[in-house]
Structures are given as C-alpha cells and as structure tokens.
Amino acid sequence: MIRSLLIANRGEIARRIIRTARKMGVRTIAVHSDVDAGMPFVREADAAVCIGPAPARESYLVQQKILDAAKATGAEAIHPGYGFLSENAEFAEAVEAAGLVWVGAPPHSIRAMGLKDAAKKLMVAAGVPVTPGYMGEDQDPAHLQAEADKIGYPVLIKAVAGGGGKGMRKVDRAEDFADALASCQREAASSFGDDKVLIEKYILGPRHIEVQVFGDRHGNVVHLFERDCSLQRRHQKVIEEAPAPGMDAATRAVVCDAAVKAARAVDYVGAGTIEFIADASEGLRADRIWFMEMNTRLQVEHPVTEMITGQDLVEWQLRVASGEPLPRRQDQLSINGWAMEARLYAENPSNGFLPSTGPLHRLKLPRGIRVDSGVEEGGEVSPFYDPMIAKLIVAAPSRQATAAKLAQAAARVEVWPVRTNAAFLALAAADPDFVAGHIDTGFIERHAERLVPSGEPSTAVQQAAARALLPAADGVWSSITGFRANAAPDCRVAVEIAGDTHLVTLTEETPRARDMTVGGERLLFMAGEAWPFELPRADHAGGGGAVSDGTLTAPMPGKVIAVEVAEGDHVTKGQKLLVLEAMKMEQAMLAPFNGVVVELKARVGGQVAEGTALVRVEKDGD
C-alpha cells in the first residue's frame, strides 16, 4: 500500500482525498499557491509545499514544481484530483518516469480518449454505440456542410479537443452552418490550439447519462452504475443524481455493459466515467443512448455513486494504484436508495450568474447531510480558481424524498457577503417538473423564469422579519401575507441586528424565533438568499426602492480594463461607458439613458468591489 501521497490539486477535492488517506494511514502532502496558504486543505495535510503565485499557470499547472515537491517531501505517489493536470498524459508519464506512483488512468488510456473523434472511432470498433455523425479527417468547410446536410438538422458542431462547452455550436438550419462552423473553429483554436471539429446529430430531449467504471492491473473492470447529470446551465452541471430517473433494469444493463466494453477497449485502470447522450423524448431506451466521451479521472459528482453503493472511490483509487485488485466484484455491487449532489457556487443568479468573489464573513452550511467544501467561514473565495464553495450531497430511500432533502439543504445555506446560487438550487430541487423526473439538458433554460430568484426581498419577507423582531407592533406588521407559492410551508429567516441574530421560522399564521449572537451587519437570510436588511419605519407601508439616479455600480468584484468616457461627455442610452474583467469574463457597463456623465470614479487598472459606484449619468433635461 502507498504510504505517502502528494495531492496535485486544491480545495474540496484535496480535502476529500486527505480524508480517505488519513483513514487508510497514508501520509499526505499538499501543494499550494501563495494565495492558498491559509486554505483548510493546506492545514489538514501532514505536510505542505508552496509552488508559486496565485495564477494556476504559475503554480498548479507547472509540472516540474509538483515533481520537485514530491521529491523534497519523500512522496511515493501523486493523486491529481480533477481538473488541472488530471487528464494530462505527459504529466502522468513524467510522474512514472520519476519513479512515483500515478494515481490515475494510464497515459495511453488518457491519450486514447483525449480526442473526441479518435475516441468515437475506437468505440465503434469495440461495439459501443455512438451518436450518428461525422468524425472524418476532411475539414474542408464545403465537405463539413455536406456531411451536416446528410445527417439532417439540427446538428451539433464540436471541437474534437473540446470540453466544458467551448468550441460547440448547435445549428438548426443549413443556411446557418457556415457562420457557426467558422465561429466554432475560432473558439476551438483559441481555447485548445486545435480547430478540428466533428459533427453530431443534435439530440432532441437530451439526457446526460454517465457510468462510473473502475479497472485494475489484473484485467478486472466493473461498473458502479449510472448517474444522471442532465440538469445543466451552459453545459456546466448543476445537480447530479444516481441512479438515473426512469432507467429500467434492462436499459441499465445495456448501458453499463457498453461502459465496461469502452473501458476494456483502452485497457483502463483506475476510476473513469463513460458519458452517454440519450434521446429521452420517449423515455430512456437502450437503442437511443449513445457514447459521447470518456473522462479519464475521478469526477466532481463521484459522491452520489459513493452514497448509493456504499463504496469509497478514493480508497479504490489508492488500492488499485498500489497494485491491489478491485475491492469488489460486479456481483457484489448494488444500488441502495437515491442520492443527489448540488454544486454551491459563488455566483449571483439574479445578475446573470456572474461570479461573486471575496471574503466569507458568514458561511453556514447545512448539517445532517454530506458537505464537501474547500473553504470555511473567515476564508475567501479567490478570483483565481473555480468559484465552487461546496457540494451539497444528500441521500434518501426514494427520489422524491431525496429531492425534498436537497431543496431543504440548499434553503438553509447562509453566506455573506459573497453571493451564491443556493436559492436557485433550492428552487430547482423543489420544482414540480424536477421532482417528477421530467428533466433534460434544457430544463434550466426553459424554466429560468421560475428558478432564478429576484435578488431582492419582497415586502412580505421584510414584514415577516420585522414582525419577528417587533411582536407587539401593529399597523403594517399586523399580518404576514404574500409568500411565494413555491416556498416551503416553514421558512427560516435569520435577521442580524447590531450583532444579534434572530433565527425565525415563518409560517403563514405566526412567526417563532430563537436567538443566537454573531458579529456583523444587519442581514436577512431566507431560502438560500441573503440581503442587507433595514427595519422599515412603522409609518411607511413601504418596501419600494428609490428611482435610479443613473449611478452604475460594479456587478461583481473585478478590474477596470477600459474607460471610454470622461466627465462632461454626452452619452446615449446603451453606449459603452467602461468594461470590467473578473474570472476571465468581461462585463460592459452601458449608459441607462441619454444624458451627461457627471461623475466618473473608475480608472483603468483599478480593482473594485461588488457594489462600488463607478459612474453616474444625469438625464438630459434634469
């Protein structure tokens, strides 16, 4: 068995690996950037090595620095986690060449599955069904157009080296193909250094089904059943579950058998995921589920598989990497109950899901469920890395009970001043169509209006909070009405007033409260949302805000990269005034109406916090 393990990753996955390694008596070494020095995973490891500045390309992605850290600390093995270098065949080879154990897929398997077109050809040869499409070498635009016409629209153009939704375009009509192809190729070249594409039939009512596979060095390969990852936003997974809703035993057997064939075709060792696309327009059917790609690593959503099988997949990884056979045979694995995982992100759904970074003055995550998190209260969400705060993982005997448990867990999240998608997750998990299993990859886009919270507390919420604090008051506080139709019967509210937090459970009849003391400003938390809270005066029936005075504030923390106006300039509605950059995203600030720039507080290169006033435009004629 491996005795010491360097983890070439950070955050929640590093903590997750440390937890299992400690249980197995394996010494752990963390590597970290300057900005991550105070992170929990660094503190929890047995040893830690700083490998460079905050940008990943100067630290976590520098292979030699990681190898040097392993040598300096006497590590026997390297676990890459997911992301960063986890699917880099050259790094895997460098680890093995250094005499270390690579806790991951063999380099030849990573290469075989690394390019989508080559992987699909390999799967066809192995007898694994693949999506109808074109995967040829001829990349002439006219030839690609002809192939798309032959397949039939709609089609999907995909970069062969792509991932994460980049280099991907849906084309509904033949006349739109040329422009979509050119755009896809430009993005693919920019993101992956390879503009080669493949074309697939676009699946109507698509479901994203994936199967967890595991192989060892003794020729054994098993599956640990399927997961459904259909709830996505812009090709990024939001809620994952296992097993897949609507999957009958016969269909499961066919899909899981295909996954095992796929793994055997590349002599797979370790943890991997075979991803399928399903045409679920008439339910899940074995003849309408096709291979899409393979992820040659542990997946973010692996906890739902662990919850339904009772297996620790990181322990399996360490045992297989140590040369042991798989801990279980196929006939020793079974599904028990249901599990779901929601990704809690530092982002603001009511503001276009823009990233929200900064300090975590308050971070209260739900108890009684599994929470895999890389941060803690008093820490910070950095702009340099993925903005995931935690994974909320729940399990129950049935899917309906699991969805209810997840909705309740997301609603209990309390985070400030960083914004999160907790309320969005709570609404999604409680949505009647989701609970009924009526899902596909377009679910969130179709239901966005009812899933994205408003971002502001309603008058009813403010009244309820005020009533909890002023039980003897009357007038505007004498009734509690107007709760959301989709709110839970009991809504928990926390109101912080000068350091005292009142946790309130609200019903339609009467509020009840208990007290706790924390530091901080006046805040209101409810159903996963958080707002600064001002107790309204009793002589106002209000709740209405002031009319905008033309002041534009930063929608997210970031850097001003362009200022295109000066004080005194006349501007027209929609004119670009300045541009912010954060998390590799650009956000243009536009004039709200025709007018004059009367105040300009932004300067190029300046770092600004969310909510900072940047520019004020005064209407013409004011």
State the alpha helices, DSSP H only, in 76-225: 89-97, 107-114, 116-126, 141-151, 177-192
The answer to whether residue 297 is catalytic is yes
Decide: 324 and 296 in contact? Cβ < 8 Å: no
Instruction: For residue 49, give both structure tokens.
Output: 């090595």
Q: Provide the residue type at 335 as one letter.
A: I
In angstroms, the CA 255 to CA 383 distance is 39
Residue 323 is given by DSSP the state T
Terminal-residue alpha carbon distance, the chain:
76
> Strand 558-563 vs strand 370-373: parallel, antiparallel, or unpaired?
unpaired
Helix (H, G, I), strand (E, B) or coil at 319: helix
> Strand 77-79 vs strand 4-7: parallel, antiparallel, or unpaired?
parallel
Decide: 549 and 486 in contact? Cβ < 8 Å: no
CA-nearest of 423, 449, 616, 447 to 531 is 423
Decide: 583 and 527 in contact? Cβ < 8 Å: no
What are φ and ψ of residue 354, in 5° steps? -65, 145
Q: Which residues of 14-30 are buried (b: 16+ CB within 10 A; e: fewer)?
A: bbbbbebbeebebbbbb
Which residue among 111, 297, 319, 343 is the active-site one? 297
Q: Which residues of 87-124 are buried (b: 16+ CB within 10 A; e: fewer)?
A: bbbebbbbbeeeebbbbbbbbebbbbbbbbbebbebbe
Instruction: For residue 294, give both structure tokens.
Output: 């393979």
Instruction: For residue 36, give both structure tokens.
Output: 């991550």
Instruction: For residue 84, give both structure tokens.
Output: 């960063």
Beta bridge partners of 273: 212, 295
Residue 38 is given by DSSP the state T
Decide: 63 and 93 in contact? Cβ < 8 Å: no
What is the CB-side half-sphere exposure of residue 4 using CA atoms within 13 A?
14
Q: Provide the residue type at 378 as one letter.
A: G
- The residue written with tokens 């040659």 in the block is 296
Instruction: For residue 593, give both structure tokens.
Output: 């109406």
In angstroms, the CA 38 to CA 465 distance is 36
Q: Indicate which residues carry an active-site annotation.
A: 297
